[in-house]
Chains A and B, each alone.
Chain A
Amino acid sequence: MEKMSYYSFVAAAIAVGLAFVLYLMHVLSGLRAARMQSAGTGTTTGTLGLFMGSRTATFGRYGSILGWLGFAFLTAWLVFRTIATGHGPFANMYEFSVAFAWGILGVYYWFERGYQQRVLGLLVLPIALGLMLYAATIPATIEPLVPALQNNLLLTVHVAVAIVAYGAFAIAFGAALLFLLQPSGPRWGLPKPAVLDEIGYKAVVIGFPFMAAVLVLGALWADVAWGRYWGWDPKETASLVTWLIYATYLHARVVRGWTGRRAAVLLLIGFAATLFTYFGNYFFSGLHSYGGLG
């Protein structure tokens, strides 16, 4: 099973890598077509996303297929690794990084189905790919669990929920970045700011309750293992800060003067906090420190 999971991981990395190349070609060809068209007739984009020439569409379609394939391979990795370890594969940095990539791809494809904004994919696929390449550089051995982690149910649920939340926040980050690239209305045939604003909001609307569930499940586990549901452990606190930043965003989105740019900036800060929480195991001295490379 460990072997199978390894092959799935490699296959997923290759598929996502190729998907990224196709997305790049798709976007380049789409942007060029948009520029040529705007030079000719003055219209820039379709209602959703890039102007679709036939070549652009082909690149996009095959890119998506490969991305889906990558997601499927990562799902296989999850399954094999779960069978091999007896719990969700979230016990060390290697497992968590691959799972994070899975979360990003999963949430991204959920949005691609609805919105067809592959430019966004061009931003978030590298994040997933980066996490996978990073995972490839750190030890992947399956090690038995230290006492604090010996709770297969909570380990699996707590971290699985975290991965979906983090994935959603990554998508919101990508959308916010594209939003901020167009400070004065639609540009270069990129997705329209209004659409990006909506994608960012929709992603947070998924991520925010999931992050609440991460905090609650973490509190539940802390209560069972450590005897208190909250102890201001650095990782606990960092997760709470992340959640609060997204809470701020949700309020900002309906306050005059905070919509648009400021809200988008909050999404960037929120994702920085997410990454800080995620990599926190390295530099926090607290109770979550076992999650490192060991």
Chain B
Amino acid sequence: MTKDFDNLETALRAPEPALADDEFSASVLARLPARRRRIATRRWTLAGAAGLGSALTAVFAPPLGAALASLTPWMIPALAATTLAVLILVMVPGLYFLYAERADR
């Protein structure tokens, strides 16, 4: 039995060298994706999107619905046109919010 053979277990357990960080951490941080917005910002964005959607709906949905109904009276009844207008006006800020959320990840 050789010395190497005897000392295998000891050699395997020898501590590994501690590698100096140098610029390693800095390089990793430089490659991270853009900073996510804080939760408070997200809440304000959500509240703003909801408020904007509501305001746009209140102001523009009835005339937009009427306009849609007058343009295509044979396809969309007035009530359906108004509903469609409401959906569009609510979805635009909502989709913007979802887009912003995804872009953060």
Do chains A and B interact in one complex? no
Q: Contact residues of B with A, CB < 8 Å?
A: none
A contact set with B: CB distance below 8 Å: none
